[in-house]
Amino acid sequence: MPDRVYPPVIAACKLMFRVLDLRITRDGTDHVPTTGGAVMASNHVSYLDFIFAGFGALPAKRLVRFMAKHEVFENRISGPLMRGMHHIPVDRSAGQASYQQALAALRAGEIVGIFPEATISRSFTVKDVKSGAVRLAAEAGVPLLPTALWGTQRLWTKGKPKNLTQRHVPVTIVVGAPIEPTTDEALRTRVRELLDEAQRRYPESGEGQWWQPAHLGGTAPTPEEAARLDARR
């Protein structure tokens, strides 16, 4: 499929990275296949995660088609961009159509990006995951790439004002080795391991900071508190 919109969007994002002087670290990008389909399954801590997960595939010269809620496609600004980049709208009332569209993309040799937690994690830990990523990889017969993002929540996350003027923020992108698409819990475990690794190697401790999870000394909600906040909304 022709990609006239994606390249200039990537160029704009790279410009943003330079202006903000983000300290981006990419690990494991050699795990992204240079040809053929794959499912990239990432944790979700920021509204900008699709940008950074996609950035993890660029060294392999691959563009990722992300599955995103259909409301994003209806926005007058983001909608044309999302459609132009051939991302995949997800209507939870008609999920099978989205699933089939993603399956077709995988079989056509595309990389499909999924945030299997479905929503941003307020606790900055890995929530329970939905079954779509594992099912898609198994049915399409393609690699399942567990991915972890860290630091992106400091720019824009749920329940906090976006801060796109903050400079020098470290952002870590870790792409794990492909795993067999067996169970949702196996995927969750591997993404959590990669996230733990990213947090250990992060250059700022974050102790006492809102963007650090409670179990690492931050003031983010615990998973239980985050679940109650989500339920309230």
pLDDT, tens digit (0-9, with 9 covering 90-100), for 211-230: 999 999 999 999 999 999 99
Look up the pTM and report it.
0.96
Residue 1: what pLDDT? 63
H helical segments located in the chain? 6-20, 49-55, 70-74, 78-84, 95-107, 132-140, 184-201, 223-232
The answer to whether 65 and 110 have CB atoms below 8 angstroms apart is yes
**Per-residue model confidence as pLDDT tens digits over 147-186:** 999 999 999 999 999 999 999 999 999 999 999 999 999 9
List, for the chain, all residue ranges whose pLDDT scores fall below the cut of 50: none
Q: How many alpha carbons lie under 13 Å from residue 155 in its C-beta half-sphere?
A: 25
**Cα–Cα distance measured from residue 100 to residue 88, given in angstroms and rounded to the nearest whole number:** 10
Domains of the chain: 6-205 (3.40.1130.10)
As to burial, measured by CB atoms within 10 angstroms (0-12 exposed, 13-18 middle, 19+ buried), residue 96 is exposed
Residue 192: what pLDDT? 98
- Percentage above 70 pLDDT, the chain: 99
Residue 39: what pLDDT? 98
As to burial, measured by CB atoms within 10 angstroms (0-12 exposed, 13-18 middle, 19+ buried), residue 88 is buried
Residue 92: what pLDDT? 76
Task: Classify 195 as helix, strand or coil.
Answer: helix
Residue 48: what pLDDT? 97
